[in-house]
């Protein structure tokens, strides 16, 4: 699994201040800390950025890059097509777009940008109305339709990184839905006929109220289940030490390399 940090959140107070004051230091410091913790990519979540979305995204990308000795790949996380276009231009197209779905507005806005820049993009397996399908069958159907839509618009479906949408356990059917996500990840490559990549947002599982120590237990258990199902990208808080330890152990067990206790 490629480990993607979700720590750069626009709603964090220090990031809000950094954007407002155009002070790159807090962003660069956070990016450097993510890299030091073991992140292999960084999700740049710009949020709504109602004022100057293009300038805000450019600032976040520039500031994050200041924190890297060796640059990490960036994931540009926004539903605003102008902010996405600005971020892609700043990255020279070398970024992952996060993301697209079957929702008509997202399809029409994001696929042309992916085609223009040759960018990979996250594909949420939501239905046209933005709802999460109730089972693996619905998610798989949406994946096939999303791949077809990308192909029609001149985007290689292999550029998609499919997100089956991890549910909160607090939903009425949360545990069952979490199992359906695992089934989706397992079946997706056979359905599409190519080694489809997948991503899961681990923090979604425990969103909402609940004791922090219990949340960590369930996140770590589910992380191992995601890895065993063939997940290729994990989006999570890289400062959660137990999750990082679990993720590295999963990679050691599933990576196919020579095992070493000191790794």
Question: What is the average pLDDT score of the chain?
Answer: 94
What's the confidence (pLDDT) of residue 115? 96
CA torsion angle 157 31 207 104 (round to 10): -30
What's the confidence (pLDDT) of residue 170? 94
Q: Count the Cβ atoms, other than its own, within 10 Å of residue 133.
A: 19
For residue 263, what pLDDT band results from cuts at 50, 70 and 90? low
For residue 10, what pLDDT band results from cuts at 50, 70 and 90? confident
Q: Can you give the residue ranges of every domain in the chain?
A: 2-254
**Residues 50, 66: Cα–Cα separation, whole Å:** 25
pTM for this predicted structure? 0.95
Name the CATH code of domain 2-254 (choices 2.40.50.100, 3.20.20.20, 3.40.50.150, 1.10.1060.10): 3.20.20.20
What's the confidence (pLDDT) of residue 247? 97
């Amino acid at each position: 699994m490629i480990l993607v940090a979700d720590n750069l959140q626009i709603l964090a107070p220090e990031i809000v201040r950094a954007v407002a004051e155009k002070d790159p230091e807090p962003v660069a410091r956070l990016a450097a800390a993510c890299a030091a913790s073991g992140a292999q990519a960084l999700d740049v979540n710009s949020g709504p950025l109602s004022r100057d979305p293009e300038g805000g995204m450019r600032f976040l990308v520039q500031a994050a890059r200041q924190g890297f000795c060796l640059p990490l790949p960036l994931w540009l996380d926004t539903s605003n097509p102008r902010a996405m276009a600005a971020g892609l231009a700043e990255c020279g197209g070398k970024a992952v777009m996060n993301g697209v779905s079957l929702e008509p507005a997202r399809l029409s806005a994001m696929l042309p940008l992916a085609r223009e820049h040759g960018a990979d993009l996250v594909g949420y397996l939501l239905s046209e109305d933005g709802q999460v399908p109730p089972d693996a069958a619905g998610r798989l159907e949406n994946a096939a339709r999303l791949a077809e839509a990308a192909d029609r618009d001149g985007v290689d479906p292999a550029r998609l990184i499919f997100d089956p949408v991890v549910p909160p356990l607090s939903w009425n059917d949360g545990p069952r839905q979490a199992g359906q996500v695992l089934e989706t990840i397992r079946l997706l490559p056979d359905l599409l006929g190519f080694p489809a990549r997948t991503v899961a947002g681990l923090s979604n599982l425990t969103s909402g109220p609940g004791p922090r120590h219990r949340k960590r237990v369930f996140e770590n258990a589910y992380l191992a289940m995601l890895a065993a199902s063939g997940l290729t990208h994990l989006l999570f808080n890289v400062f959660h030490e137990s999750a990082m330890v679990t993720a590295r152990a999963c990679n050691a067990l599933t990576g196919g390399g020579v095992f070493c206790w000191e790794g």
